[in-house]
Amino acid sequence: MKYTLHALLFASAIALAPLAALACGHCLEDRIASVYDHSAVERAKLQKHTLMYLVWDGPLTHDAATRRWLVRTVAAVPGVVAGSVRVSLEPPTIALAFDAARTKAAALESALQGSLAYRGATASSLPTTTATAAAP
């Protein structure tokens, strides 16, 4: 009986283990994965650009129109490399590339805040902001 109970508990733990690995969308890795584009990372590496990942928030609907607006708005910020913007609605994340030799991350983030404020949105950088582009 004791052996059967242990075997049953072990089998249950094995069966439920994959559920613990589901993405929650709140951790850094989930957010970056939601906007990760290997070709964009490789392009940034070749051009010696820096990648910036940000969390966006605000009274925006999470739909295709909002995603398009975010892409256009972020892409229009001076210093953002053309074609580098990636936006995720869930989790709400933005990725972009910029040339750190010409534009400082803090100045870029400040300009981005000003652009997003038009619709009451905000963005805050994730801890990986100043890392030089590199494939994971």
Which residue shows structure tokens 């805040």?
Answer: 113
Q: Quick one: the chain helix, strand, coil %, rounded to 5?
A: 45, 15, 35
Pairwise pLDDT comparison (128 vs 129), residue with the higher score: 128
pLDDT exceeds cutoff 50 at 17: no
- Residue type at position 24: C
| pLDDT bracket for residue 27 (50, 70, 90) | confident
Angle between helices 105-116 and 64-75 (to 10 degrees): 130
| pLDDT bracket for residue 81 (50, 70, 90) | very high
DSSP tag of 119: G
Q: Is the peptide bond before 136 cis (omega within 30 degrees of 0)?
A: no
Residues in a beta bridge with 124 = 55
Catalogue all structural domains in the chain, each as residue range(s) with its CATH number. Answer: 24-125 (3.30.70.100)
From residue 6, alpha-carbon distances to 3, 10, 11, 12, 14 in Å are 5, 6, 9, 10, 12
**pTM here?**
0.75
